[in-house]
Structure formats: structure tokens, C-alpha cells
């Protein structure tokens, strides 16, 4: 339990929280030109999931990535946090409808409600651009705390979003901007080692797969 939860208060964020959960799923479908399934499966492939792992999706939205991970790797345990009550409610509904066990909780990325070193994999997909630089660093430090040594962090986001986002995305990128190379820099700043990085193959999305430092590193 985080300090804020122990005090009975919900932790706060300076990030941009989305409250239109049903509309969000429609937007993703539109932006991905109906290729959302391939988009989610590509991210799960990049995360290199193995049986029995505990996987946390931070800023999970309506839970699509966590539920895809569970569909492809039945023996993993999936967790998701999002600052939005509406997103979490929809994620929980989607899991119930799919008959899938998934632990979705309303919480902020800057203060994750998990014990140290309890996850093998953490994902942050298209959410870091919702956070300002200070919140991004807090989020990175929290991800390092909850990952076991050698655990993997998959970062996916629009690099250069403010200049290159086209069409409908132009309206959703006034709040944040990830400069080229910034995903890698964020991971390295908190001591992660980059294993693989590059374009995701969808729009101007880029990924970084990085491992948490071993004890003593």
C-alpha cells in the first residue's frame, strides 16, 4: 500500500488522464486503421514474455494490451494500473466478458501500488507522452523499483509526436512530446540497459526494450 492510500487519499498526478473509455477504444481502432490486433500482438512479441511471468501494464487504458498478453500466454499473471476510474472500469468489464483473470487497479504511474521486485515485465505503451518530464522520471524510478533485477521494461511511444502526428492524432498530441531518443534516455537515466530499440512499424511509434539493473549494478 502506498503512503497516499494508507492516508485514505488517492495519489495525484500531473499527467493527462483520459475519462472517455468507450470512445478511446474507437479512437484506437480508427488510428490503427482496424489493425489494433496486430499492433497489440507486435508489442507482446517485443516484450519476449515467458510462461509464469508477472506482467504489469502502466497507464493500461482499457486493458487491451494486458488482455492480449493473457490470450497469447495463458500462464502469465497480468496487472494494469491507470489513473482513470473510467478506463479501469472498462478494463475490468472487458476481462470479465473474456473470462480472463486480470488485476486492474486505479493508481498513478508515479506511485505504483506494488511491492519492490515483484514483476518480471513492465510495459508503458503510448502513455509516457501523457506525463511531463518530472512525472516521467518518477514513473521510471517506480518501474525500476517494482521490477526484479534483470526484469524487462517495454517502452512504446510516438517519438517526435508534436511535429509528425497526422490526421485525428493531431488533436491528441498537444499535451506531450517525446523527442527522438528520449525513450532510450529515460530508461538509461535510471540504470536500465537497452536490449533492442527501433520503429514499431505503426505510425511514428518507436519502442525500447530495456532490462533492470542486477543487484549491485
Site for ligand SAM, rule CB under 6 A: 13, 15-18, 28, 59-61, 64-65, 81-84, 87, 108-110, 125-127, 130-131
Compute φ and ψ for 184, nearest 5 degrees: -60, -45
Q: Say how far apart CA 167 and CA 172 lie, in whole Å.
A: 10
Nearer to ligand SAM, 113 or 213 (CB): 113
Shortest distance, position 214 Cβ to ligand SAM, whole Å: 27
Task: Give the cell for residue 83.
Answer: 489513473
Nearer to ligand SAM, 24 or 192 (CB): 24
Shortest distance, position 123 Cβ to ligand SAM, whole Å: 8
Residue from 177, 9, 5, 15 nearest 83 by CA: 15
- Residue 103 bridge partners (DSSP): 79
Nearer to ligand SAM, 132 or 213 (CB): 132
Nearer to ligand SAM, 127 or 210 (CB): 127
Nearer to ligand SAM, 130 or 203 (CB): 130
Shortest distance, position 107 Cβ to ligand SAM, whole Å: 7
Q: Which residues contact 155 (CB under 8 A, 6 or more apart)?
A: 124, 128, 183, 186, 187, 207, 208, 209, 210
Shortest distance, position 164 Cβ to ligand SAM, whole Å: 16
Shortest distance, position 47 Cβ to ligand SAM, whole Å: 13
Q: Which DSSP state fits 131?
A: S
Compute φ and ψ for 138, nearest 5 degrees: -65, -45
Amino acid at each position: 500500500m502506498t503512503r497516499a492510500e494508507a492516508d485514505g487519499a488517492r495519489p495525484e498526478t500531473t499527467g493527462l488522464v483520459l475519462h472517455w473509455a468507450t470512445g478511446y477504444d474507437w479512437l484506437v481502432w480508427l488510428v490503427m486503421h482496424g489493425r489494433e490486433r496486430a499492433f497489440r500482438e507486435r508489442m507482446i512479441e517485443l516484450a519476449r514474455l515467458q510462461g509464469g511471468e508477472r506482467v504489469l501494464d502502466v497507464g493500461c487504458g482499457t486493458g487491451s494490451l494486458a488482455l492480449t498478453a493473457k490470450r497469447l500466454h495463458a500462464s502469465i499473471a497480468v496487472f494494469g494500473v491507470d489513473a482513470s476510474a473510467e478506463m479501469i472500469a472498462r478494463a475490468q468489464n472487458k476481462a470479465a466478458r473474456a473470462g480472463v483473470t486480470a488485476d486492474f487497479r486505479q493508481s498513478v504511474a508515479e506511485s505504483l501500488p506494488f511491492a519492490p521486485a515483484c514483476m518480471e515485465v513492465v510495459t508503458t505503451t503510448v502513455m509516457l507522452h501523457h506525463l511531463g518530464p518530472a512525472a516521467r522520471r518518477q514513473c521510471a524510478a517506480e518501474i525500476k523499483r517494482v521490477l526484479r533485477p534483470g526484469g524487462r521494461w517495454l517502452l512504446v511511444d510516438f517519438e517526435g509526436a508534436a511535429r509528425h502526428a497526422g490526421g485525428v492524432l493531431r488533436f491528441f498530441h498537444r499535451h506531450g512530446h517525446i523527442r527522438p531518443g528520449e525513450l532510450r534516455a529515460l530508461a538509461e537515466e535510471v540504470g536500465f540497459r537497452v536490449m533492442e530499440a527501433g520503429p514499431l512499424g505503426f505510425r511514428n511509434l518507436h519502442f525500447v526494450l530495456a532490462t533492470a539493473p542486477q543487484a549491485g549494478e
